[in-house]
Amino acid sequence: MNPQAAAFAPLPAAFREQLIQLITRTATDLPPDVRAAMARATGREAPASRAGQALAIIDTNIHMAAADEGPLCQDTGMPTFFVHTPVGFNQILLRREIEAAVAEATRRGKLRPNSVDSITGENSGDNLGPGTPVAHFEQWENDGEVEIKLLLKGGGCENKNIQYSLPCTLDQLGRAGRDLEGVRKCILHAVWQAQGQGCAPGALGVAIGGDRTTGYEAAKEQLLRPLEDTNADARLAELERYIVDKANTLGIGTMGFGGGVSLIGCKITALNRLPASFFVSVAYDCWAYRRRGVVLDAATGAARRWLYGDPPLERERVPAAAAPAGTRLRAPVREEEVRRLKVGELVLISGTMYTGRDAVHAHLMHHDAPVDLRGAVLYHCGPVARKQPDGSWTIGAAGPTTSIREEPYQADILRKFGVRVVIGKGGMGAKTLAGLQACGAVYLNAVGGAAQYYGRCIKQVRSVHLLEFGTPEAMWELEVEDFPAVVTMDSHGNSLHQQVEAASAEALHALETV
């Protein structure tokens, strides 16, 4: 056979099959080390506390997702592959198989369509397009095996990535110099600035040095390390332990509700740098810490072994979850009902709920709403939705998105349309807080990442509007029952987010004065 022709022969079908399985497992089933860390976090919080209640929902969600092979979080992120191939292996063909597997996994509802044209805003619908998916290829001296690791990191935690250029001055921590002490301050600051917007408890990948690009790449690659491993560099191993210990004294807690666990892991590497530059790059990942890996036979594509100590593949039993107790509201909601709510209360919503993300909010600023929003519940959510053969829709995952992106619009929309309840995660700013007070509305914080749990609260898709924006950005009209969320911004000018941020700022500052 002509060697050149053989080099471009299609890869065996097993490659694509295993890639689809890798994507499915990554999106739906947390690896054992992350499960163990979350179980330890649950054990540290009082069950009746806000953090304890949120962790109970998270635990149920983890089991639901694995049992039904449904997306753990509706934001399946930017699929990022890290691939090692033998010398001479055709990486071009493997990239094509990766793209085909991503498109097929999207069609099956394991990935949400997340690839959006940056110029037009148009969603490709299949997670393919310039720059997506991401695939990093390297050769290794192993003739028989192809290693593929996949990281699914959602937009909420991706937005809390941060890069520091030392020396600099940090809120609550003062001057950070070009040494490990300065690095320590930067990492602690990274945890503090994320608050609940990164879906705490989170994990950090950190790179010291490099340039702006290689630093972020190396930081994200640190997230591939198992949580229980020990850094080979004793100095960095000690720093990793210190960061986790001290971060968990800040009181940020699960979802930023307050509590004793804000971080489940920190992994650090160091790169050489230019004399003029000293960067500290931090990749923040949420509790829905989705990474998996598989080693394939280079000739056949058959799976030789799964990485991260996976147990045997089997459907798991979903543990019975106690129904949360809270104040029940039925939409449409009256102003007097909202005025009675106070920060910290758990609320259970039933009735009709409308989703609205970035595109919907921007649209409503200049157009009439396609539905009557008086007394309505508006949910910051971009669900995983699938159209059925009969034309109906089902929702496969429906957790909250980060609300702060809607800060420029929210107060105006409250006034314009009479929205009474806003649900999202991570809280909103001063303009929205004032709007809630003036309009008699309330902001509820749902549990970020709990997409299967909230999906079970959706009993029917009644309709969909503005579908031209793509399924994540459309306005979905949903019938829900006992949808739980915590009042974190009430109609009296109180904000739990402000309270936790201020208290954690004091705790952070205190670390520098001990």
Q: Give the C-alpha separation, 281 to 262, whole Å.
A: 19
Q: Give the C-alpha separation, 215 to 222, whole Å.
A: 11
What does the pLDDT average to over 91-118? 97
Classify residue 43 by burial, with Cβ atoms within 10 Å: 0-12, 13-18, 19+. exposed
- What pLDDT is recorded for position 1? 37
- What pLDDT is recorded for position 258? 96
What tens digit of pLDDT does each residue of 274-323 get?
A: 999 999 999 999 999 999 999 999 999 999 999 998 765 555 666 655 56
CATH topology of domain 327-499: fumarase (3.20.130)
Percent of the chain with pLDDT over 90: 93
Q: Give the C-alpha separation, 271 to 281, whole Å.
A: 11
Task: Provide the pairing of β-strand 263-270 with 202-208.
Answer: parallel
Each domain of the chain, given as residue ranges in start order, spans 1-154+298-318, 155-285, 327-499
Q: What angle do CA 59, 399, 363 make, to 5 degrees?
A: 170
Mean pLDDT of the residues in the chain: 94
Q: Give the C-alpha separation, 511 to 513, whole Å.
A: 6
What tens digit of pLDDT does each residue of 446-457 get?
A: 999 999 999 999
Q: Are 395 and 478 in contact (CB under 8 A)?
A: yes
Q: Give the C-alpha separation, 47 to 44, whole Å.
A: 9
What does the pLDDT average to over 27-44? 96
What tens digit of pLDDT does each residue of 220-252 get?
A: 999 999 999 999 999 999 999 999 999 999 999
What does the pLDDT average to over 153-165? 96
Q: Give the C-alpha separation, 448 to 229, whole Å.
A: 27
- What pLDDT is recorded for position 3? 43
- What pLDDT is recorded for position 314? 58
463 Cβ neighbours under 8 A, 6+ residues apart: 477
52 Cβ neighbours under 8 A, 6+ residues apart: 42, 45, 46, 259
Q: Give the C-alpha separation, 263 to 258, whole Å.
A: 12
Q: Are 110 and 28 in contact (CB under 8 A)?
A: yes
- What pLDDT is recorded for position 196? 86
What tens digit of pLDDT does each residue of 406-437 get?
A: 999 999 999 999 999 999 999 999 999 999 99
The answer to whether residue 7 scores a pLDDT higher than 60 is no
Percent of the chain with pLDDT over 70: 96
Question: What is the token pair recorded at 232?
Answer: 């080979």
Instruction: From 308, 307, 225, select the one nearest 269 (Cα to Cα).
Output: 225
Q: Give the C-alpha separation, 270 to 250, whole Å.
A: 26
Q: Give the C-alpha separation, 124 to 127, whole Å.
A: 6
What does the pLDDT average to over 387-397? 93
In order, the DSSP letters of 97-139 are HHHHHHHHHHHTTSS----B-TTT--B-SSS-BTTBSEEEEEE
The answer to whether residue 131 scores a pLDDT higher than 90 is yes
